[in-house]
Structure 1
């Protein structure tokens, strides 16, 4: 039995894997630190202007005559959260959740989910296939790292964790149908390996929550995201220090109000599941929710938004200073928009991650700017670490 590739099961995909993969991976790695970092990739391009609404901007209402429903959760005189984020409002008020607005990767103009996600996970425009993902490069900068518990759940892999630095993978590839007798055999076979036994049985429990319809299509996405968060929290309570997984459902070309509400509700439940599962470790945890690009400032004719540029990063965790919308706001006047259509990026989302890694793990700024994110200008510390 190959510990690095333990096959259990998966569901078929019925739409674009980049825009809406049902089961995308979760990767974890151990480290010599006491702090934890969780990176959640929001696949499909979250509309940051709807998730964290600049109601105080005089041009916002005119750009979004139907999406601006007036029901946002005001957090100050300028900003309001999407109502679907209401479960996280107590975290915001406690200073354990916030956002950074008008940020993006260096990716411009192509507006392709696949390319945008490649840049986000590689952390660079140099996509030569050899550099790996930025989380893997970060791990590679730390001497003495060992592979502890690293899993990829789903048909895709988390490119953000690929590379030469030590990490383990688990990638389900076939439909899981396991009788009680087979489960008992699995437990018996792995009895002498408690670490992998417990992980495998947790994976079985996750698969139990992944319903499949008569055509073999996956259903119950919210339940699976919650299960992944529970699985991740359990590992982070032990020796794991870095985790990354993804959540789909953010491509909102039409009917955005309902579709985005469901995706945001799923993210809110995922963050709360992490918080509850981590317990006292939550105070030493940073959760970064990143997406490949933002969406157009102006809503389209189908009450949705199209692929854009600038967007928002949502963060949570007891190790971070929340209760704020950080970043430099450019405004939404036509002259202020990127290409007169998108929110203008005024910050690099990689720099946000870089400063948080520096604060959590004590990495040197030159290491971040040269090895983790080659060529990055870190700029000014946004002061998000407590």
Structure 2
């Protein structure tokens, strides 16, 4: 029985490994095509509701300390951007970009999403770029809807990177997907079958080990070693568990940045992925450090790996589904809010600027007397970035890509 079981049948019929699209370039050839020109766009979705008031700190607003006695109230040296605004220490590594004119912010901005404050709905609306959620099965994302309007684009012009499905690049236009880590699922029956095959086919053991290693961009998931002898179920499970832990300890955001940069140096012109960890209901002073560090590392890694010539043509948009409450809560965190902050980076960015209108933090100026009042639609900023980077007509962006959007006057986000 086992002698007739080929490696291909074993991998495809047992369903043991749910590997990512690009787990092995030998098994998954990737097709890409270029859009005209050299401009690149990277969209990073910051999942969890990033606290824009903590990231871009309005030290010039006298109400800040009243609402946040434990958060963002103290000015810290070297973090001042303007007389009014500074940044969280977690973004300190990005300050050279600010000084070089390659970093900007948009204050008090939001999607049209209001009141329910659900992560799932908020993220879907952000990625769909619409006013309301469409019925399931008929949704697509604004990046995907833009692709047909870039003259000369064809085949797969975009990449969605990460473990989860990216609505932002879902739609009629082809786009590729890639994940940095192997996903392993194993039933009891699968374990027994795997044990049987490994005992009788040492070549299969070697091939399986290689497949797992290929599924990890930097080898963090390569902890499984098969011997030519008997391998017990518990041994395999222990190895799988350890491999999974090793992968989680690795910096997947660095892997994603490396993969994105590699593709963007070639024919790909649009990439999107997400970074989590922004849901800071408690101990926010500590909880913000890790996601901000990951974001800083990701942006700087993109800059390094793209190289100066490509980086000069690159725009990075960092967006979140909603901001957080103005007042800190009883656990020294913040809850789901409305107005937030958008971050722009890249050599193509007309940097060193803080865009948008500050609404104030007095109670009468807040949204629902609890949240930062949005003074702009975040979709408009994304639309202007696409207009400047790819030449898509303003009317097309307003009606066909986003719908029900007034982009307003051109803010000159890009050079």
Distance 2:330 2:246 in 1: 30
User: What's the counterpart of residue 274 of structure 2?
Assistant: 246
Matched, 1:136 2:147: no
Distance 1:265 1:210 in 2: 26
Choose which of 38, 42, 51 in structure 1 pairs with 2:42. 38
Distance 2:401 2:336 in 1: 27
How do residues 1-386 of structure 1 correspond to structure 2 at under 5 angstroms?
7-8=18-19, 30-68=34-72, 70-72=74-76, 73-124=79-130, 125-128=132-135, 129-148=137-156, 152-170=160-178, 174-175=183-184, 181-182=206-207, 204-206=216-218, 208=220, 220=248, 223-279=251-307, 280-386=309-415
Deviates more, 1:348-357 or 1:60-69: 60-69
Cα distance per residue 1:203-257 (max 9 Å; x no partner): 5324626998659568646711011001101100000000000000000000101
Distance 1:29 1:343 in 2: 41
User: What's the counterpart of residue 190 of structure 1?
Assistant: none
- What is the TM-score with the length of structure 1 in the denominator? 0.83
User: How far off its partner does 1:268 sit?
Assistant: 0.3
Distance 2:371 2:174 in 1: 39
Gaps of 5+ in 2: 1-7, 9-16, 22-31, 187-202, 224-239
**Higher-Rg member (1/2):** 2
Distance 2:369 2:338 in 1: 11
Distance 1:185 1:63 in 2: 55
- What is the TM-score with the length of structure 2 in the denominator? 0.78
User: How far off its partner does 1:302 sit?
Assistant: 0.3
User: How far off its partner does 1:324 sit?
Assistant: 1.8
Distance 1:56 1:209 in 2: 47
User: How far off its partner does 1:83 sit?
Assistant: 0.6
CA contact under 8 A between 2:162 and 2:256: conserved in structure 1?
Answer: no
- Give the number of aligned pairs: 353
User: How far off its partner does 1:39 sit?
Assistant: 0.2
CA contact under 8 A between 1:286 and 1:319: conserved in structure 2?
Answer: yes
Distance 1:295 1:175 in 2: 35
Instruction: Determine helix, strand or coil for the equivalent of 2:104.
Output: strand
Distance 2:182 2:221 in 1: 17
Deviates more, 1:222-231 or 1:306-315: 222-231
Gaps of 5+ in 1: 11-27, 187-199
Aligned CA distance change for structure 1 residues 209 and 362 (closer, same or farther; 3 Å) = farther
Deviates more, 1:79-88 or 1:139-148: 139-148
- C-alpha RMSD of matched pairs (Å): 3.0
Aligned CA distance change for structure 1 residues 325 and 167 (closer, same or farther; 3 Å) = same
Instruction: Determine helix, strand or coil for the equivalent of 2:124.
Output: helix
Aligned CA distance change for structure 1 residues 74 and 354 (closer, same or farther; 3 Å) = same
CA contact under 8 A between 1:102 and 1:346: conserved in structure 2?
Answer: yes
